Amino acid sequence: MRALTWQGKREVSVETVLDPVLREPTDIVIEVTSTAICGSDLHLYEVLGPFMDKGDILGHEPMGVVVEAGAESGCRVGDRVVIPFGIACGRCWMCERGLTSQCETTQVRDYGSGAALLGYSRLYGSVPGGQAEYLRVPHADFGAVKVGAELPDHRYLFLSDVIPTAWQAVEYADVGEGDTLAVYGLGPIGQMAARIGVHLGAEVFGIDPVVERRAMAARHGIRVFDFDDDTHDRIREATAGRGPDAVVDAVGMEAHGSPLGKAAHQAVSLLPDAIGRKMMETGGLDRLSALHSSIDLVRRGGTVSLAGVYGGQASPMPLLTLFDKQIQLRMGQCNVHRWTQRLLPLVEDPADPLGTEDLVTHRLPLSAAPEAYEAFQKKSDGCIKVVLDPTS
């Protein structure tokens, strides 16, 4: 089969690799009909190279049709399924409590990490990903989400990651009718988090330096702001001088405006892998401008919810400010399976309340994936969300 593989920093290529096969009776193999590029994939492309191996298959936002089904998978050949990015058993102590991202069956204990993830480095199990023609899905008896045949892929695809990750971020922010919410970063997760805030009745402010992202958010009732010197003052003026009740940081470790963090990322990428891994496991390598800005903006007694990925172990934090402002800080890898059944009716609703029809800016064949990664990273050509079609 053909699959997108990691070859080095900012270097990915479509190669011919071995077809996946069933290994366990709970496995399925799907023919991938749509698979998206996630902002988290850019961390592999740019920062997390020390944890990657040449030839790793990327991608963790896939859906498709079952072509092989294990006897205990609960699926049949021909089923149309969405595959959550986290791999969970559904039966362990953590899964029973809704913490599927901490599944004790698939935890990657060699690195002290949570549940294994599709296509996401040694840190999360080096499981082959879904930017490929075919994908083996472990623990499909619990993980595979069966969907109908009537709606197009893009109405369902984002149940794999974007929508549940954004939903959890807003749930953790604890906002609803009449509350105020700011979202830092209007990439795919930020777009959806902002829309979910509006859907739940909050007044939402979206902050992003990219004009196309602001324009997309504005179409969905979000008040948008560039990342200017007076942005916080303007949002405070709109919130009785206090700041919003909650802020979602949907940016993460590669935030703009963090020159020291950027320099650290560049330095680590030049080190031998073993040394680079040790630096990332022990060092403060995150670019923290979005997180620190979120802490500054949120009102006293408010909540900061982290949806963006951070990877440093010793990143400096303004603990005096956090304590003095009595800020709640919530975060974590998304427990996708916890939210799926609540979200499925929303993506199937004819009114499309979360705007799934207005998120994909580029749909391209798998062969165009290297160029798509570059455009997504550079935010060129109005690129906000890319979906790859391995069947074309």
CATH of the domain at 258: 3.40.50.720
CA 263 and chain centroid, separation? 24
**Confidence at 264, pLDDT banded by 50, 70, 90:** very low
Q: What is the DSSP letter of 227?
A: S
Q: What is the pTM of this model?
A: 0.90
Domain identity same for 184 and 130: no
Domain identity same for 315 and 183: yes
Domain identity same for 265 and 325: yes
In this structure, what token pair is assigned to residue 44? 């592999």
Rounded (5°) CA angle 100-102-104: 100
Domain identity same for 121 and 211: no
CA separation, residue 22 to residues 27, 60, 253, 311, 375 (Å): 6, 19, 36, 33, 35
Helix (H), strand (E) at residue 5: strand 2-8
Domain identity same for 279 and 356: no
Judged by phi (left if over 0) then psi (alpha if -120 to 50, else beta), residue 201 lies in left
CATH of the domain at 57: 3.90.180.10
pLDDT digits (tens, 9 = 90+) for 284-323: 455 688 899 999 999 999 999 999 877 666 678 899 999 9
pLDDT given at position 274: 53
Domain identity same for 74 and 140: yes
Question: Which of these three, 331, 358, 378, is where a domain ends?
Answer: 331
In this structure, what token pair is assigned to residue 16? 């011919």
pLDDT for 280 beyond 70 = no
pLDDT given at position 345: 97
pLDDT digits (tens, 9 = 90+) for 74-124: 999 999 999 999 999 999 999 999 999 999 999 999 999 999 999 999 999
Task: Please give the residue range of the domain that contains residue 177.
Answer: 163-331
DSSP letters along 67-91, please?
A: EEE-TTSS--TT-EEE--SB---S-
Enumerate long-range contacts of 318-321, CB under 8 Å, 24 or more apart. Answer: 318/292, 321/295, 321/296
Domain identity same for 194 and 231: yes
Distance, in Å, from the CA atom of 206 to the CA atom of 45, rounded to the nearest integer, reads 26
pLDDT digits (tens, 9 = 90+) for 195-225: 999 999 999 999 999 999 999 999 999 999 9
Domain identity same for 50 and 198: no
pLDDT digits (tens, 9 = 90+) for 13-51: 999 999 999 999 999 999 999 999 999 899 899 878 889
Q: How many structural domains comprise the chain?
A: 2
Domain identity same for 368 and 286: no
CA 79 and chain centroid, separation? 25
